[in-house]
C-alpha cells in the first residue's frame, strides 16, 4: 500500500461526483470542487435530496444532477456523505441499479457499521466497481478548513486514484488502514467511542471546576496547554455553548449522529466480549440529552451535549449562563 504522502503524482483525469451535502459533505465537496478547478479539471457533479443545500456549490460552478443515478452515470469516482447506514445502502443500491458500474469507484466518507461497509464493498466488487471506506475525523469547522483526518480502507489501486483528492484537499492527513474497507470503519468506530469518553471526562471536569469554584477558564487553559487540540476543542464546545446551539445555529457534530456512531462501537465491542465502560457512561448521558431535546421541541443538540446532563446530575441547570443568555436574546 502506498503511503498517504503519495499525493504529489499528476492528478488523474477523472470525473468526480458527490452525493450528500450536509454540513460535513458540503464542506468536503466544496474543497474538492475548488481543487478540481485549480487543476483545470471538470467541475464536481453533485446531488442532494434537499436541493437547496446544493445552491452554494452550484453558485461556484458545481454541476447539479437530478438524482443519484445521474451523478453515478456521469462520474468515474462517486463520493458519498450521508447520515447513516440506511442512507448509504440506498445510495449504493441506486448506483448498482445502473447496471454497468465496472471500473467506477465509490468512496464512502460516512461513519457506518463495519458490517455494512463489508457488505457494500462485496456488492460493488461483484459488479466490477472499486470501493473505499474513508470515514473522517473532525467537526464541521475542521471540514470547512480542509483539515479533517481521513481513515482509508481499500485496495492500492483505488487508493492511488483517490489519494489526490484526500490529503491537502479535504484532509490534513490520511491513515491508511489496509486493503479491507471495513477496517477503516472499525478505526472510525473506535475513535468515536474514545471521543465520547473524552467528552464525558471533560464535561465532568468542567462541572467539578464550577462546583468547587475553580472556574472553567483555568481548566480550559490547562486542557489547551497540556492535553492537546482535541481536548481543548471539546472544552470550547461546552464553554461557548456549542453543546446546545441556538435555534438558528447548527451543531458542530449532531447528537443523533453521535448516538449512532458510539452505538456502533458498543455493538462491535459487545460481539468480542469487550465492555466499554466509559463509552457506555457517555452513551447513556447522550441518550438522556436526546430526551432533553425531545422535551424541548426537538431542539438540535451537539454530541457534546452530554455536558448538560452531567450538569443536571450535579444539581446545575442543563444550560450554562452563556446558553441561557443567548436563548433569551432570541
Check residue 13 and give its pLDDT: 84
- Helix or strand or coil: residue 8? coil
Q: Rounded mean pLDDT of the chain?
A: 94
Integer Cα distance of 300 and 296 in angstroms? 9
Asked if residues 156 and 128 have their Cβ atoms less than 8 Å apart, the reply is no
Kindly tell me if the per-residue pLDDT of 16 is higher than 70: yes
pLDDT in tens, 294-308: 999 999 999 999 999
User: Average of pLDDT values for 20-43?
Assistant: 96
Q: Predicted confidence band at 10 (pLDDT cuts at 50, 70, 90)?
A: low
Asked if residues 243 and 301 have their Cβ atoms less than 8 Å apart, the reply is yes
Check residue 5 and give its pLDDT: 41
Domains and CATH numbers, the chain: 16-179 (3.40.50.720), 187-329 (1.10.1040.10)
pLDDT in tens, 35-80: 999 999 999 999 999 999 999 999 999 999 999 999 999 999 999 9
Integer Cα distance of 19 and 234 in angstroms? 29
User: If you search the block for the grid coordinates 440529552, which residue do you land on?
Assistant: 289
CA atoms within 13 A on the CB side of 29: 35
pLDDT in tens, 252-276: 989 999 999 999 999 999 999 999 9
- Helix or strand or coil: residue 137? strand
Q: Predicted confidence band at 9 (pLDDT cuts at 50, 70, 90)?
A: low
Check residue 6 and give its pLDDT: 42
* Number of Cβ atoms within 10 Å of the Cβ of 126: 9
Amino acid at each position: 500500500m502506498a503511503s498517504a504522502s503519495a499525493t504529489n503524482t499528476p492528478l488523474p483525469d477523472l470525473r468526480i461526483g458527490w452525493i450528500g451535502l450536509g454540513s460535513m459533505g458540503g464542506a468536503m465537496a466544496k474543497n474538492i470542487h475548488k481543487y478540481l478547478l485549480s487543476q483545470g479539471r471538470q467541475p464536481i457533479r453533485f446531488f442532494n435530496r434537499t436541493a437547496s443545500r446544493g445552491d452554494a456549490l452550484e453558485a461556484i460552478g458545481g454541476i447539479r444532477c437530478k438524482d443519484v443515478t445521474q451523478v453515478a452515470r456521469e462520474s468515474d469516482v462517486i463520493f458519498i456523505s450521508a447520515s447513516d447506514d440506511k442512507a448509504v445502502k440506498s445510495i449504493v443500491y441506486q448506483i448498482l441499479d445502473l447496471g454497468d458500474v465496472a471500473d467506477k469507484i465509490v468512496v464512502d466518507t460516512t461513519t457506518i457499521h463495519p458490517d455494512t461497509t463489508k457488505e457494500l464493498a462485496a456488492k460493488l466488487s461483484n459488479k466490477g466497481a472499486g470501493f473505499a471506506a474513508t470515514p473522517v475525523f473532525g467537526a464541521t469547522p475542521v471540514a470547512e478548513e480542509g483539515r479533517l483526518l481521513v481513515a482509508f480502507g481499500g485496495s492500492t489501486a483505488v487508493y492511488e486514484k483517490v489519494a489526490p483528492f484526500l490529503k491537502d484537499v479535504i484532509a490534513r492527513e490520511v491513515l491508511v488502514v489496509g486493503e479491507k474497507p471495513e477496517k477503516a470503519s472499525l478505526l472510525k468506530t473506535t475513535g468515536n467511542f474514545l471521543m465520547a469518553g473524552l467528552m464525558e471526562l471533560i464535561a465532568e471536569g468542567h462541572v467539578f471546576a464550577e462546583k468547587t469554584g475553580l472556574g472553567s477558564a483555568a481548566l480550559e487553559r490547562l486542557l489547551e496547554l497540556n492535553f492537546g487540540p482535541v481536548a481543548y476543542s471539546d472544552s470550547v464546545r461546552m464553554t461557548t455553548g456549542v453543546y446546545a446551539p441556538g435555534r438558528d445555529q447548527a451543531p458542530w457534530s449532531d447528537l443523533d449522529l453521535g448516538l449512532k456512531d458510539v452505538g456502533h462501537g458498543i455493538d462491535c465491542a459487545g460481539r468480542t466480549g469487550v465492555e466499554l465502560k466509559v463509552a457506555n457512561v457517555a452513551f447513556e448521558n447522550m441518550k438522556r440529552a436526546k430526551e432533553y431535546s425531545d422535551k424541548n421541541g426537538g431542539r438540535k443538540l451537539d454530541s457534546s451535549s452530554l455536558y448538560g446532563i452531567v450538569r443536571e446530575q450535579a444539581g446545575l441547570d442543563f444550560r450554562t449562563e452563556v446558553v441561557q443568555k443567548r436563548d433569551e436574546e432570541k
